Amino acid sequence: MASSDVARQPDKGARPLSLAGHVGFDSLPDQLVNKSICQGFCFNILCIGETGIGKSTLMDTLFNTNFENFESSHFEPQVKLRAQTYDLQESNVRLRLTVVNTVGFGDQMNKQESYQPVVDYIDRQFESYLQEELKIKRSLHNYHDSRVHACLYFISPSGHSLKSLDLVTMKKLDSKVNIIPVIAKADTISKSELHKFKIKIMSELVSNGVQIYQFPLDDETVAKVNTTMNGHLPFAVVGSTEEVSVGNKMVKARQYPWGVVQVENENHCDFVKLREMLICVNMEDLREQTHTRHYELYRRCKLEEMGFKDTDPECKPVSLQQTYEAKRQEFLLELQRREDEMRQMFVQRVKEKEGELKEAERELQSRFEQLKRLHADEKATLEDKKRLLDEDQSSFSKRRAAAQLLQAQSLTANGKKDKDRKNSGFM
C-alpha cells in the first residue's frame, strides 16, 4: 500500500522522544530508493487523439527514441487501442514503459461510441489488478502493473475551443485516469491566439466539471514549480524527431521556409515544460494518484456491485471474512434448494411415466382378450362347417356305393338275359 505524502499526525498513544545520538534510521528512504532501483519502475501512458495529430511523434520526442509506429488509415470502422511495451534505461534506472495509442479516434461519422473502447481498456487494467489482489496466492510485487497512470489528451489546434468529441470523452475519463490535455501541432497558432485558446479551453473544462490532473502542491520542494506549471495548462507542444542545425548545434526542430521551430526552445512551445512535469517531477505522483484515487474508486464500485459492504444493516462494521462466509452460506443454501427441487421434479416425472406405462399395459391386455374371443368364435363356426361337410361327404359316398352296386347287379342281370336270348335264338 502506498504511503501518503501528508505528514503523519502524532499518535495519541505514543509520546515523542528525542534522540541522544545518531541512530541511523534516516537511511530508510535511501534503502527504499535502492530497492526500487533494483526492482525497476513501471509507467503506462495512454495517448488519445485524432489520427495524424502527432501522438507517436510526441512520444518519440519525449523519450528520445524511436518507437517504430506506423501511420494508420482514416477509415477504421471503430476506435481501437494499440498497446506497446518497451524497456528503457537511463543511468542505472530501468523503466518499463507502456504506450497505448488510440487508432481511428475521431474518424468515424458517428462518434457517439468512440469513448467506449478507451473506458473499457482502462477498466480492464483495473479489473486484472483487482483480481490479482483478491487471489489467495498472489504475487503483487512481481505483478506487471498495467494500469494507466497518465492520459495525454491531444487537442486539435483549431484556435477557437474544444471539439464536442473532446468534451464528451474527457468527461467520461476524468474519474478513471489522470488526464493531461495538450494542444497538439502548436506551431500553427501564434502567441496571442494561443493565450486566448488556452483560457477558452480551461474555462470550458471548468464549466463542464471535467477534472483534469493538477500538479500536486503538497511538497514544498516542487510546490512552486508546480503552481506555475498549473497555470500553463494545457501545454502547447510540437514534436519532432528530425534534427536541424541552428547556430552551431543540432537541435530537434521543424524546418519551414519562414523559420525553424525548435522543440526544446521554451519560447517556441511548451515541450520542455511537459517533459519536466510529466517525467522529471511528477511521474511518481501520477502513479500514486492512479493507485490511491482512481483504482480505489473502481475497486469500491466493483465490490459494492458484487454485494460487499463495509457495514451490515445494523451499522456494525463487518469484516470481509464475515461477508465471505455469509455469501458462501447463502450460496450453499441456494445449491441445496436447487438440488431438492430437482429431486422432487424427478420423482414426479417418474411417477407420471409409470402411470402412463401401466395404462398402456392394461389396454393391451384387454385387446388381447378381445382378439382371443374372436378367434375362438371363428374356430367354432369353422368346426361346424367342417362337420356338415363331412356328413355330406359320407352320405354322398354311401349313395355312390349303393348306386354302383345297383349298376353292377343290373349288368349281370342283363348279361344273363342276353345269354338266354341268344341261347333261345339258337333253339
Partner 1 sequence: MSPALSSCLILVSWNLSPDDGEEKEYVGFATLPNQVHKKSVKKGFDFTLMVAGESGLGKSTLVNSLFLTNLHKDRKLLNAEERISQTVEITKLTVDIEEKGVKLKLTIVDTVGFGDAVNNTECWTSVTDYINQQFEQYFRDESGLNRKNIQDSRVHCCLYFIPPFGHGLRPVDVEFMKALQDKVNVVPLISKADCLTPTEIKKLKEQLREEIDKYGIKIYQFPDCDSDEDEEFKRQDKELKESSPFAVIGSNTVVEVRGQRVRGRLYPWGIVEVENPTHCDFVKLRTMLIRSHMHDLKDITNDCHYENYRAQIIQTMTSKMNADKRVESPILPLSTSGVETEKLIKMKDEELKRMQQMLQKMQQQMHEQDL
Binding site for partner 1 (CB under 8 A): 50-54, 71-75, 107-112, 114, 156-168, 184-185, 187-188, 190-191, 204, 207-208, 254-262, 267-268
User: CB-wise, 88 or 272, nearer to partner 1?
Assistant: 272
User: CB-wise, 74 or 300, nearer to partner 1?
Assistant: 74
Residue with cell string 511528477: 282
User: CB-wise, 110 or 142, nearer to partner 1?
Assistant: 110
Alpha carbon of 83 to those of 32, 52, 289, 311: distances in Å?
Answer: 30, 17, 22, 40
β-strands 249-256, 243-246 pairing: antiparallel
* DSSP conformation class of 14: -
User: CB-wise, 57 or 178, nearer to partner 1?
Assistant: 57
Shortest Cβ 114–partner 1 spacing (Å): 8
Shortest Cβ 197–partner 1 spacing (Å): 10
Residue with cell string 474508486: 297
Of 206, 149, 253, whose CA–CA distance to 198 is shortest? 206
- Measure the CA–CA gap between 183 and 187, rounded to whole angstroms: 10
> Other C-beta atoms within 10 Å of 389: how many?
10
User: CB-wise, 262 or 289, nearer to partner 1?
Assistant: 262
Entry field: residues in the chain: 427
Shortest Cβ 253–partner 1 spacing (Å): 9
- Measure the CA–CA gap between 18 and 118, rounded to whole angstroms: 53
Phi, psi of 226 (to 5 degrees): -65, -35
Angle, helices 116-134/296-306, rounded to nearest 10 degrees: 80
User: CB-wise, 219 or 266, nearer to partner 1?
Assistant: 266
Shortest Cβ 280–partner 1 spacing (Å): 24
Shortest Cβ 157–partner 1 spacing (Å): 7
Residue with cell string 469513448: 115
Shortest Cβ 249–partner 1 spacing (Å): 16
